[in-house]
């Protein structure tokens, strides 16, 4: 997450847990990425943020997450069609998806080239009318007139996903026992964060799913990235 003020941006530091993060831990940079203030290194996706601020002058805040519902679309390579009213409250049209980066672009500078791919995606799209994008095989970038404006509340996000044609049901994770969910819903494929991969408790679950022919797809999950923590951090920042 980052915010822009004139020719400076403030971005979250790299490697600091959200629940321990303080205002003084934030890193201040100029638009070329030179550090002006801060004891930590800036977030690893800083080059993407810088590209976006330079190309989209009206935006003042950017949020990047791997939130599970949106990431499943990014993984599947599908844009999110505008089919519901809640979606229309935030996005005046489909939420687009970036193209695949080629191997050179990935190796040379994945983060910067991700920024360029987003800008390319918005060649014929008004970035203020569609304030967000899916990054193919990765996650989401969303932006707005302020940092808090770039965060869409959980209930609203789940409502957007609930209203689209690719999804039969959007269910908040109320308990970790996914098998109980299966007994209710009988799904064929389960998407889960790769932090579960090879976890002892999960292995048992995997065996159970194997028996009932459920395929498990793991997608990248970043530790410490959660909309709840982001929101709490924002509230704390506003109070200070």
| Contact set with Zn ion (CB under 5 A) | 139
Closest approach of Zn ion to the CB of residue 137, in Å: 11
The DSSP line for 210-226 is HHTT-EEEEE---TT--
Strand pairing partners for 160? none
Tokens of residue 67, six digits: 């939130």
The Cα–Cα gap between 215 and 220 comes to 17
What radius of gyration, in Å, describes the C-alpha atoms of the chain?
A: 19
Residue of minimal CB distance from Zn ion?
Answer: 139
Closest approach of Zn ion to the CB of residue 104, in Å: 20
Nearest to Zn ion of 153, 220 (CB atom): 220
Nearest to Zn ion of 42, 214 (CB atom): 42
Closest approach of Zn ion to the CB of residue 108, in Å: 18
> 34 — phi, psi (to 5°)?
-75, 140
Nearest to Zn ion of 139, 144 (CB atom): 139
Nearest to Zn ion of 65, 163 (CB atom): 65
Closest approach of Zn ion to the CB of residue 14, in Å: 12
The Cα–Cα gap between 127 and 66 comes to 20
SS3 70: helix
Closest approach of Zn ion to the CB of residue 117, in Å: 14
Nearest to Zn ion of 64, 178 (CB atom): 64
The Cα–Cα gap between 48 and 116 comes to 8
């Amino acid at each position: 997450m980052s915010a822009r003020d004139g020719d400076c941006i403030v971005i979250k530091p790299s490697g600091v847990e959200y629940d321990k993060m303080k205002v003084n831990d934030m890193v201040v940079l100029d638009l070329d990425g030179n550090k002006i203030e801060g004891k930590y290194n800036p977030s690893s996706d800083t080059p993407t943020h810088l590209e976006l601020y330079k190309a989209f002058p009206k935006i003042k805040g950017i949020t990047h997450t791997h939130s599970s519902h949106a990431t499943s679309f990014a993984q599947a390579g599908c844009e999110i069609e505008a089919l519901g009213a809640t979606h229309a409250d935030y996005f005046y049209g489909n939420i687009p998806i970036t193209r695949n980066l080629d191997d050179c672009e990935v190796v040379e500078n994945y983060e910067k080239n991700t920024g360029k791919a987003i800008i390319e995606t918005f060649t014929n799209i008004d970035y203020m009318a569609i304030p967000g994008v899916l990054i193919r095989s990765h996650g989401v970038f969303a932006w707005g007139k302020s940092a808090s404006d770039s965060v869409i509340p959980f209930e609203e996000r789940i409502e957007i996903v609930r209203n689209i044609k690719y999804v039969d049901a959007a269910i908040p994770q109320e308990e970790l026992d996914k098998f109980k969910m299966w007994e209710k819903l009988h799904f064929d494929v389960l998407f889960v964060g790769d932090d579960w991969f090879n976890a002892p408790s999960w292995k048992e679950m995997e065996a159970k799913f194997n028996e009932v022919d459920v395929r498990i797809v793991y997608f990248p999950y970043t530790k410490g990235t959660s909309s709840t923590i982001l929101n709490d951090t924002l509230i704390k920042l506003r109070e200070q």
